[in-house]
A and B are shown apart, each in its own frame.
Chain A
Amino acid sequence: MAQRAVAINPTKPGGIVAGLVLALTLGTLGAVAWRADWGRGLGAADWAAVRFTVTQALVSAGLSCLLAIPVARALARRRFWGRSVLVTLLGAPFLLPVIVAVLGLLAVFGRNGILNDALGALGLPEVSIYGFHGVVLAHVFFNLPLVTRLILQGWLSIPAERFRLAASLDAPVGRLLERPMLRTVLPPAFLIVFLICLTSFAVALTLGGGPRATTVELAIYQALRFDFDLGRAAMLASIQFGLCSIAAALAWRMTAVDGFGAGLDRSVDRWDGSRWGDAVVIALAATFLLVPLIMVIVRGVPGLLELPVDILRAALRSVTIAVISAALCIGLTLALALKGGRIVGLVGVLPLATSSLVVGTGLFLLVYPIVNPAKLALVVTALVNAVLALPFALRSVAPAVDKITSDYARLGAILDMSTWVWTTRVILPRLRRPLGFAAGLAAALSMGDLGVIALFAGDAQETLPLAMYRLMGAYRMDAAAGAALVLLVLSFALFWICDRGGRVDADL
C-alpha cells in the first residue's frame, strides 16, 4: 500500500452534478438522436449548411491565427504607454455579448457604417458586411484577441536569456526561438477558434442567412422556429454535435491551461524588428478592436432615449437569469472540482462538444409534449448557460482546489477538521478569487447569450439580447444601439462586480 490519500473533500455533490451535466449533454443528445428524421437524408440545403459551417470556421480560425502572430510579436517586444490596458482589453471580446459586437461592426462596416460613408465620399463602391465575409469578419473580431493572448503567452514563456544569447550570437531569432514556439502554440489555438466558430450562432443569425450563408446552428433554429420540423432540427443537431465533438476532442487534447492572461503584463527585451513596423501593427489591431466598441457607445448614448419600456423589463430579466446562471455554474463547478478525478475532468469538458442550440433542441423535444416550451424559457436558459460556462469555470477553479488540497489537506486532517469545517473555513475562503472570476465569466456569458433563449422564448420571455435582435430586425437601429449600450454596460458590470468581490480582502 502506498501513500494514503487524505479524504477530506466532499465528493457526493460532485457525483450528482456529474449526472446532471451528463443528462444535459449526452441526455439531450440522446433525445435529439432518437427524434432525428434520417429518412429524408441530407438535402442540398443541409449539405450547404455543413459546408458553409466548416468553411467559415476554417477561414476564420486561419485568419485569426495569421493576423495574431504579428500583433502578439509586437506586443511581446515593445513597451509603450497603454500597453497593459490594451492587453486587458484583449480579454474583453470573450465577455462581450455577440450581438453587441455585431452592432458595433455594423456601425463600422455596415451599409450606413463609417467605412461605407468614407468610401462613398471618395466615390468608391460600398462593401457589404452580410454573408460569408461578414461572418468571417465578426469571428476574426472575436478571436483575434483570444489568439493574440495565447500566442503572447507563448512568446513571453521564452526565457529572456535565450533572446540575449541569440542577440549576442547574432543568430536568427525567428528560426531558433520563435518558430518552435509557434509550432506548439498555434495548432491548439487554431482548433479552439475553429470550435468557437463552429458553434457560434448569433453571428450567423445576424450577419449570415440565406441559402449561401447558413450555418448548421442557424438551420436548426430555422427548422425549429419557422418550419417547426422537429425531425429535421433533431437531425441537424446530431450533425452539429458530431462536428463539435471531433473538434473539441482534438482541441482539448492539445491545449495547455490558459491562465487567462496572467503574467502578460511585461515585455521581453529584444534587439530585432522594426519599431515602426510594430507600431503600425499595434495601431491597426487596436483600431480594428476598439472602433466598433467605441461606436457602440457613440451610437448607443443617443439611442438610450429611444428605448422602449419593454427593454427595461428585458434587462431585468437578463440580469436575473445571469445571476441565477452564475450561481448555478459556481455550484456545479465547485461540486465537480471538489470531487476531482478523471471522470469529472471528462464531464467538465463535455459541454464544449455540444452547443446551446443542440442542448436547446434536445430539451425542446423533451419538454414540448408536456408543457409549452416558452413557459420554461428562462429556467432552461439559466441552466443551459450555467452548464455551457462550466468548462471555463472549471479551468479556473479546479487547479485552485487541487493546490489547496495538496497544500493543506494534511493539516486539515491532523487538526481533525470535518468535511464541513474544511469546506467552509478553508476551501471556500481560499477559492474566492477563482470563484469570483468564474462567477463573473458565467454571468457575462449568460447575460449576452442569444442561443437557447431564441429557441424557447415567446414575447413574454424576451431577454435583452433577444429584444435587441428583434429591434434590429424591425430596423429600429437607434433603439437597438441604446439597448446594445445597456447590454454592454450590464455585462461588464456583472463581471467586474463578481471578479472584484473575489479579490477584495482576499489574503492569500
Chain B
Amino acid sequence: MLICEKLELTQGTFHLSADVRFSQRAITAVIGPSGAGKSTLLLAIAGFFAAQSGQVVLDDISLMSVAPGKRPVSMLFQDNNLFPHLSIYENVGFGVRSHGRLDANERRSVLSVLDRVGLQKMADRKPAALSGGQQSRVALARLLLADRPVVLLDEPFAALGPSLKDEMLDLMQEMLVKDAGATVLMVTHDPADAQRVADHVAWVADGVVHAPRPAAAIFADPPAGLRNYLGKMG
C-alpha cells in the first residue's frame, strides 16, 4: 500500500500537507481547484519534489532516499511523454530497466506490449507520424512494460478529445489496474473522468490532501469545497 505519512510540501508561499493512504489495485482520482497542489503531490511521490518533512512509504519501505528512476513508480506528465526523435519501438524500449541494447527477450516483450495496445505495425514510426490517441497508447505500452507497482498520471490525456480520452481511461483501467494490479493516482480537473474510472477520489484543497473516499459515496455527498467546485464545473 502507498502511504503519504505526514508529508509536508512547501515552496514559497505554497504549502500542502498529505497524511493519506492509497488503495492497491485501484484508481484514485486526485481532484481539486487549479493551484491546489495536485501535480505537486504526484511530483513528490515520484521524487521530483523534495518534501520538507514526512515520508512516502510503499509496502512498509520509505522511498525518501530513493532517486526518481529507482523508485517503484512510473509517471506520465501533461506533455512530453515521448521522445520525438526516437521510434515508437525505442520509446517503449525505455520501459525496460537495462538501457543498453535490448536482448532478444526484451525485444519480444516490447513487440508484444505494442501488440497489446494495437500498435505493432507502427513500431518503426516516430511519434509525430501517430495520432494523439496512438501516442497515448505508446505511453501506455511503456507503462505496461515498466510494470511498476505505482503509476502516476498527471493529466496526460487532457489534450485528447472526449471520446478518445474515455477510451484511454478505460484501457488504463483494464490493463494497468485489472491486469497488472497497479496503484494508480490520476490527477484530473474533470469530475466525469473520476466518475468514469476512479474507485476512490482524493479531494485536494486549502493546502490539504483529504483522505480518499469511495467515488460513488463522495459524489453522492460531496464535502462543501467539492460541492462548490462541482457546481462551478456544472
Q: Evaluate contact between A4 and B70: CB separation under 8 angstroms.
A: no
What chain A residues lie within 8 Å of B81 (beta carbons)?
Answer: 411
Q: Evaluate contact between A407 and B80: CB separation under 8 angstroms.
A: yes
Q: Evaluate contact between B50 and A408: CB separation under 8 angstroms.
A: no
Q: Evaluate contact between A416 and B49: CB separation under 8 angstroms.
A: no
In the complex, which of the residues A1, A506, A508 has the most CB atoms of chain B within 10 Å of its own CB atom? A1
Q: Which residues of chain B (92-146) have a CB below 8 Å from chain A?
A: 94-95, 97, 99, 126, 128, 146
Q: Evaluate contact between B85 and A429: CB separation under 8 angstroms.
A: yes
**Given that A414-B68, A414-B69, A507-B128 are known contacts, is A408 also in contact with B83, CB under 8 Å in the complex?**
yes
Measured CA separation A507–B86 after assembly (Å) = 9
Minimum distance in angstroms from B103 CB to a CB of chain A: 16
Minimum distance in angstroms from B42 CB to a CB of chain A: 11
Measured CA separation A507–B88 after assembly (Å) = 13
Q: Which residue of B lies closest to A418 (CB)?
A: B99
Q: Evaluate contact between A6 and B70: CB separation under 8 angstroms.
A: no
Measured CA separation A292–B216 after assembly (Å) = 80
Q: Evaluate contact between A408 and B69: CB separation under 8 angstroms.
A: no
What chain A residues lie within 8 Å of B49 (beta carbons)?
Answer: 3-4
Listed in ascending order, the chain B residues whose CB lies under 8 Å from chain A are 10-12, 43, 46-52, 67-70, 73-75, 77, 80-81, 83-86, 94-95, 97, 99, 126, 128, 146
What chain B residues lie within 8 Å of A506 (beta carbons)?
Answer: 85
User: A404-420 toward B: CB 8 Å interface, digit per residue (1/0)?
Assistant: 00011011011111100
A421 within 8 A of B: yes
What chain A residues lie within 8 Å of B70 (beta carbons)?
Answer: 416
Q: Evaluate contact between B80 and A414: CB separation under 8 angstroms.
A: no
Q: How many residue pairs, one in A and one in B, have C-beta atoms under 8 Å apart?
A: 68
Q: Which residue of B lies closest to A4 (CB)?
A: B50
A313 within 8 A of B: no
A83 within 8 A of B: no
Q: Evaluate contact between A508 and B80: CB separation under 8 angstroms.
A: no
In the complex, which of the residues A410, A417, A421 has the most CB atoms of chain B within 10 Å of its own CB atom? A410
**Which of A3, A421, A507 sits near B84, CB closer than 8 Å?**
A507
Q: Evaluate contact between A415 and B95: CB separation under 8 angstroms.
A: yes
10 inter-chain pairs at a CB distance below 8 angstroms, sorted by A residue, are: A1-B10, A2-B11, A3-B11, A6-B48, A410-B68, A411-B77, A416-B97, A425-B83, A430-B85, A508-B84
Per CB-CB distance, the 6 closest pairs between chain A and chain B, nearest first, are A416-B69, A1-B50, A4-B50, A421-B99, A413-B68, A415-B94
Q: Which residue of B lies closest to A417 (CB)?
A: B99
Measured CA separation A414–B51 after assembly (Å) = 18
What chain B residues lie within 8 Å of A411 (beta carbons)?
Answer: 77, 80-81, 83
**Which of B12, B47, B83, B97 sits near A4, CB closer than 8 Å?**
B47
Measured CA separation A426–B94 after assembly (Å) = 12
User: A71-101 toward B: CB 8 Å interface, digit per residue (1/0)?
Assistant: 0000000000000000000000000000000
What chain B residues lie within 8 Å of A417 (beta carbons)?
Answer: 69, 94, 99
User: A95-121 toward B: CB 8 Å interface, digit per residue (1/0)?
Assistant: 000000000000000000000000000
Q: Which residue of B lies closest to A430 (CB)?
A: B85
User: A1-29 toward B: CB 8 Å interface, digit per residue (1/0)?
Assistant: 11110100000000000000000000000
Minimum distance in angstroms from B95 CB to a CB of chain A: 7
Measured CA separation A3–B9 after assembly (Å) = 10
What chain B residues lie within 8 Å of A507 (beta carbons)?
Answer: 84-85, 126, 128
Measured CA separation A417–B94 after assembly (Å) = 8
Measured CA separation A85–B203 after assembly (Å) = 59
**Given that A4-B48, A507-B85, A507-B128 are known contacts, is A416 also in contact with B77, CB under 8 Å in the complex?**
no
Q: Which residue of B lies closest to A505 (CB)?
A: B85
Measured CA separation A426–B48 after assembly (Å) = 20
**Given that A3-B11, A4-B48, A408-B80 are known contacts, is A413 also in contact with B69, CB under 8 Å in the complex?**
yes
